[in-house]
Chain A
Amino acid sequence: MMIKYIISRIMQSIIVLIGVTLVTFILVNVVPGDAVSLMLAKRTDQATMDRIRHELGFDRPYTEQYLRFLGNAVRGDFGNSYFEKTPVTEMILRGLKYTVRIALWALLLALALGLGAGIVSAYFHNSLLDRVIMFFSTLGISAPVFWLALLFQIFFGLKLKVLPISGVDKPGSFILPVLTLGITNAASIARISRTSLLEIISQDYIRTAKAKGAGELRVVFKHVLKNAAIPIVTFAGLVVRGLLGGSMLVETVFSIPGFGSLMVSSILTRDIPLMQGCVVYGATIFVLINLLVDLAYSALDPRVRLVKET
């Protein structure tokens, strides 16, 4: 039953990815501005441009171009970047190395801080402590992430001079980006876990558990947490997607050559292979995370299994 569900979800994901490549391909070809003339900055004659177009296969029919693109994409080959002349996959992997590293630490920080604050807030709800935590979490949600990043740079980098404010080479250069992304996301997670816990605590089945004679800890850890985890997992999935999709703003502020910066620069320079590669990689990451979240769901909630099977 479970295996059937997993297989069907994987099939769905593949269809989504094919759709993504198709849309990317169409968009790139529809957008005005010819890649070859852009690449050569119109410095050569028409004959040379035609020759290059022919070499790159731009004079072939669209269907053929698409199928070739798709075939290569499946093998992880998106061609060479127009400007750096290095394979796109290599560039993306280099970018992802930084992005994933920051994302994982930021996620850990966000979960630890957010869940902790959320549980404390729910347990002591309506107390002064709860209000203070919720005040800061609202602040964290409302503050634009680049602004927070700038504040951290000013405070830790310029005032205290304890941390580097940009780049990836110096020791500790990851701390500020991780802190920025971790804190913003922790604020949302705190809010969501508080709401979710409070909602579950007032459910009838929690009263049933108490009526059975279960102690407070048992009620919280067995009966509340598993139910409350469902919305929290959904949101954590969103956070991971956001973080891995490249936090362009944060990467820009801290000058990190991550996936987000790469994608932005590929668009600005109209580096088509790089752009296509970024979009497909990004989409793959999204689809994979979605798949993981869905599988986590069905592990947590038996009702999801039923709905999806029918």
Chain B
Amino acid sequence: MGSPLLEVKNLKTYFRTEDGLVKAVDGVSFSLEKGEILGIVGESGSGKSITALTIMGLVQIPPGEIHGGEILFKGRNILALRKSEMRKLRGNEIGMVFQEPMTALNPVYTIGNQIAEAVMLHSDVDRKTAMKRAVEMLERVQIPMAKDVFKRYPHELSGGMRQRAMIAMALCCNPELLICDEPTTALDVTVQAQILKLIDSLRKETGMSVIMITHDLAVVSEIAERVIVMYAGKVLEEGPSSVIFDHPLHPYTEALMKSKPVLGQKKERLYSIRGMVPSPYNRPPGCLFEPRCDCSMKECSQAEPADVIIGNRRVKCIKYCDSKDGNRP
């Protein structure tokens, strides 16, 4: 097995605000193989989008700061790259699709103009070739009448079409990594399925790797091979999607699964995790999920548990720590 395409090691992205330091991403590690789809799930504010933006180099500094860690893309630490080098990477080798197709496209330029711009930014082609390439890309994301859509403005297209156009834009330079930040959240369910299918088939076609960020467990279980579960800036659990949802290890993953509505099953009340995500200004000293956890123990609130590797899975919970682990104070 070769080295992974992307390796994130102990990444810490903090924000300095007037109210204090926010540790949006706090020691996140994961890796991604070539051609693999990795799902990142978590509630809003769990740091999944900031992780993606950090990889893209799009975190505003200040107020943001990369407090530590490494992001190895094809073996190169891209956190150490100069601005101009990072710019060559963005949109070229790493593409990104955003959550809101309604607002992620510039309203005053045509779809074609915006895709052609991306082509021209990274390859030495004239306007005509770039435009031809843009039409080709629109066809590839299965937009009917691509030549017509090319000349349209974003407000003239439906949400699904806009998201397809976004994907076309992200893929026009054949990136090796595509980051999708909640690509289907703003779309209705039938369109969601189409977009997911499209992303999956494009991945098979090009052999690119995909990071799929979502809070929707159904999306992840449908498309991702491996999943990491994030909570308050940390990875609580990682494992293959085939097992992680059926047999969750971490109490948080378990609770997430329980709060997912199941079709055809009439429950009196949907399960909800009690309490709230801890305030970013005032994180508990021990396990971050401890205040809301149904199986918390006395030790949980004392120190943060270490990662435990169980087979091809990883979990951050004291339940799986050996007593001799030296994890307790």
A residues near B (Cβ < 8 Å) are 203-205, 207-215, 222-223, 226-227, 300-303, 306
Most chain B CB inside 10 Å of its own CB: which residue of A208, A302, A306: A208
Chain B count of residues within 8 A CB distance of the other chain: 29
Complex Cα distance, B109 from A204, in Å, reads: 14
Would you call B155 and A303 a contact (CB within 8 A)? yes
| A204 and B169 within 8 A (CB) | no
- Residues on B with C-beta less than 8 A from A223 are 106
- Which residues in B have their C-beta under 8 angstroms from that of A302? 107-108, 153, 155
Known contacts A204-B100, A213-B118: A301-B90 contact under CB 8 Å? no
With A204-B98, A302-B155, A303-B153: A210-B58 Cβ-Cβ less than 8 Å: yes
Residue B122 is within 8 A (CB to CB) of chain A in the complex: yes
CA distance A223 to B114 in the complex (A): 10
Some 15 contacts from A to B, beta carbons below 8 A apart, are: A203-B103, A204-B98, A205-B103, A205-B104, A208-B169, A209-B106, A211-B98, A212-B91, A213-B90, A213-B91, A213-B122, A215-B87, A302-B153, A302-B155, A306-B155
Interface SS, B side: mixed
- By a CB distance below 8 angstroms, the chain B residues around A212 are 90-91, 117-118, 121, 169
Give the number of A-B contacts (CB < 8 Å): 69
Chain B residue numbers with a CB within 8 Å of A306 are 155-156
Known: A213-B90, A213-B92. A208 touches B104 (CB 8 A): yes
Question: Are B108 and A300 closer than 8 Å at their CB atoms?
Answer: yes
Contact between A204 and B103 (Cβ–Cβ < 8 Å)?
Answer: yes
Q: Say yes or no: is B143 at the interface (Cβ < 8 Å to chain A).
A: no
* A226 nearest in chain B by CB position: B108
Closest to A209 in B: B106
Knowing that A213-B118, A214-B121 touch, tell me 7 more A-B residue pairs with CB under 8 angstroms. A207-B58, A211-B95, A213-B88, A213-B121, A214-B117, A302-B107, A302-B153
What 4 A-B pairs are tightest by C-beta distance, nearest first?
A213-B91, A212-B91, A204-B103, A213-B90
Q: B92, B103, B106 — which one has the most chain A CB atoms within 10 A of its CB?
A: B106
Q: Which residue of A is nearest B105, CB measured?
A: A205
**CA of A204 to CA of B92, assembled, Å:** 19
Give Cα A4–Cα B159 distance, bound, in whole angstroms. 29
Main secondary structure of the interface of A (DSSP, over half): helix
In the assembled complex, the Cα of A215 lies from the Cα of B103 at a distance in Å of: 20
Q: Given A213-B87, A213-B92, are A205 and B106 also a contact pair (CB < 8 Å)? A: yes
Distance to closest chain B CB from A94 (angstroms): 43
In chain B, what residue has the closest Cβ to A200?
B106
Which A residues lie within 8 Å of B153 (CB)? 302-303
B318 located at the interface, meaning its Cβ lies under 8 Å from any Cβ of chain A in the complex: no
Which among B58, B100, B107, B155 is the interface contact of A211 at CB below 8 angstroms?
B58
B96 at the interface (CB under 8 A from A): yes
B89 contacts across to A, CB distance below 8 A: 213
Q: Could you tell me the distance between the alpha carbons of A213 and B123 in the complex, rounded to whole angstroms?
A: 12
When distances are taken between beta carbons in the complex, the residues of chain B under 8 Å from A227 are 106-108
Q: Which residues of B contact A301 (CB under 8 A)?
A: 107-108
Per the bound structure, the CA–CA distance linking A306 and B152 in Å amounts to 12
Task: List B54-103 residues whose CB lies under 8 Å from chain A.
Answer: 56, 58, 87-92, 95-96, 98, 100, 103
A contact residues around B107 at 8 Å (CB): 205, 227, 301-303
